[in-house]
Amino acid sequence: MKKYRVGIVGATGMVGQRFVTLLENHPWFTVTCLAASERSAGKTYTQALDGRWNMATPIPEFLKDMVILNANEIEKIKEEVDFVFCAVDMKKSEIRELEENYAKAEIPVVSNNSACRGLSDVPMIIPEINAEHIAVIETQRKRLGTKKGFIAVKSNCSIQSYVPALHPLKKFGLKNVLACTYQAISGAGKTFDTWPEMVDNLIPYIGGEEEKSELEPLKVWGKIKNNEIVNATTPNITTQCLRVPVSDGHTAAVFVSFENKPTKEEIIDCWKNFSGIDLPSAPKQFIHYFEEDNRPQAKLDRNLENGMAVSVGRLREDSQFDYKFVCLSHNTLRGAAGGAVLLAELLADCECFAFTS
Ligand SMILES: NC(=O)c1ccc[n+]([C@@H]2O[C@H](COP(=O)([O-])OP(=O)(O)OC[C@H]3O[C@@H](n4cnc5c(N)ncnc54)[C@H](OP(=O)(O)O)[C@@H]3O)[C@@H](O)[C@H]2O)c1
């Protein structure tokens, strides 16, 4: 089978490294290009990382000596790839310009960045939930004047645990949602070595995170009208996002009230029967419900189904809302690189990419 040639823009970063490990033996995609800032350009991948490799498995042999390109060398990168993954740490306006330049050069972009998430013709997709939003890519191509090029994004890692758990409950009329997230330090591109201040600590602020956590679910649940995504207007969502001393895995404590209050058994049935999708990186069971009172735990459960499943537990009635529960997802796998790889598989399956060689 012919494989799509893939570039990773931001290959030296935390998310970029995850892409590298996830794509090492991918059945549909093969990494043919690594790009990063001018600081890394011209160095081999090993030299550019300079001790920053944070994955549990070694750097894949075939990428160790690959020379990093400057992310701005788009024409050069175009010769090497059919599409790119993008996860870079730059100003929002610069990221939007960079991603649109790739798209205009007819290189599709599957992005982890937030810069283009708010645009109504840029689909923000959780494949099990809103795959139909792919349809707005045609509108975007008209705006950008492209035939092949486009940008598709994945949502913020913070919503990745609670939106899947809430989605199958929409049929009971979700009214109000309160979510407190407890987010791992890898979400900031850090480890305990690079952020020692986080040991034995908690920081009650993550810039921009609460806004994203309240708004992005409404885009995911939006409907296509006049070829653009119009955000949903319900449920009402309020959040608090905290940084906690956990290496990987974002937890959310969720409170929810409904128009038509379901029973506890009905909710658990909805989670157990949430049908998945048939793509190489998709989990067999999207949501795993734990009966044990002390689960899910970040350390024990974040890697469930290769870090692509969502764990839920502690469902019980609440005195002010109808129910409360706790959910967990791996922030750099399902919440970042893994979610983007799954999105790319969906786009490839829908023939949104073209082979260019
Ligand atoms: N970590 C997560 O869990 C997570 C989850 C969802 C989304 N994201 C998003 O993914 C993006 C990357 O996050 P990260 O945690 O991987 O960050 P990171 O570890 O700080 O890595 C940043 C990457 O961006 C590159 N970069 C910086 N300035 C650049 C420039 N001017 N031109 C080209 N490349 C440049 C860096 O290259 P050099 O090494 O050459 O400097 C590096 O490869 C961010 O937008 C973040 O919000 C992260």
Ligand 1 centroid distance, CA of 16 (Å): 7
Percent of the chain with pLDDT over 70: 100
The answer to whether residues 233 and 268 belong to one domain is yes
Is pLDDT above 90 for 305?
Answer: yes
Residue 303 counted as domain residue = yes
Nearest residue by C-alpha to atom 47 in ligand 1? 113
Range of the domain at 80: 4-156+336-349
Nearest residue by C-alpha to atom 45 in ligand 1? 113
Q: How confident is the model at residue 104 (pLDDT cuts 50, 70, 90)?
A: very high
1-17 pLDDT per residue, tens: 789 999 999 999 989 99
Residue 29 counted as domain residue = yes
**Among 123, 169, 189, which Cα is nearest to 150's?**
123
How far apart CA 126 and CA 209 sit, in angstroms, is 18
Is pLDDT above 80 for 342?
Answer: yes
| Cβ of 88 less than 6 Å from ligand 1 | yes
Q: What is the pLDDT of residue 308?
A: 97
CA dihedral 77→81→83→88, nearest 10 degrees, is: -40
The answer to whether residues 143 and 237 belong to one domain is no
The answer to whether residues 99 and 218 belong to one domain is no
Residue 357 counted as domain residue = no
**Among 279, 296, 273, which Cα is nearest to 343's?**
279
Average of pLDDT values for 274-292?
96
The answer to whether residues 302 and 185 belong to one domain is yes
Residue 356 counted as domain residue = no
Contact 92, 183 (CB under 8 A): no
The answer to whether residues 100 and 232 belong to one domain is no
Amino acid code (one letter) for 63: L
Reply yes or no on whether 157 is catalytic: yes
Q: How confident is the model at residue 356 (pLDDT cuts 50, 70, 90)?
A: confident
| Cβ of 336 less than 6 Å from ligand 1 | yes
Tokens of 221: 């649940």
CATH code for position 34 = 3.40.50.720
The answer to whether residues 236 and 288 belong to one domain is yes
- Nearest-atom number in ligand 1 for the CA of 12 is 43
Report the first-to-last Cα separation within the chain, whole angstroms.
14
Q: What is the pLDDT of residue 135?
A: 97
CATH code for position 289 = 3.30.360.10
What is the tally of structural domains in the chain? 2
CA 321 to chain centre: 29
| Cβ of 92 less than 6 Å from ligand 1 | no
Q: What is the pLDDT of residue 259?
A: 98
Nearest residue by C-alpha to atom 40 in ligand 1? 37
| Cβ of 335 less than 6 Å from ligand 1 | yes
Q: Where are the alpha helices (DSSP H) in 145-256?
A: 162-166, 209-220
Reply yes or no on whether 250 is catalytic: yes
Residue 223 counted as domain residue = yes
The answer to whether residues 254 and 314 belong to one domain is yes
The answer to whether residues 100 and 48 belong to one domain is yes
Contact 251, 274 (CB under 8 A): no
The answer to whether residues 75 and 219 belong to one domain is no
158-211 pLDDT per residue, tens: 999 999 999 999 999 999 999 999 999 999 989 999 999 999 999 999 999 999
The answer to whether residues 190 and 322 belong to one domain is yes
Residue 355 counted as domain residue = no
Residue 354 counted as domain residue = no
Average of pLDDT values for 302-316?
98
Eight-state DSSP code of residue 203:
B
Catalytic residue among 116, 157, 241, 352: 157
The answer to whether residues 109 and 168 belong to one domain is no
For the chain, the average pLDDT equals 97
Contact 111, 92 (CB under 8 A): no
Strand partners, 203: 243
Q: What is the pLDDT of residue 2?
A: 86
The answer to whether residues 150 and 216 belong to one domain is no
| Cβ of 12 less than 6 Å from ligand 1 | yes
Q: What is the pLDDT of residue 206?
A: 98
Average of pLDDT values for 313-334?
97
Mutate which of 88, 97, 112, 113 to test ligand 1's pocket (most atoms within 8 Å of Cβ)? Answer: 88
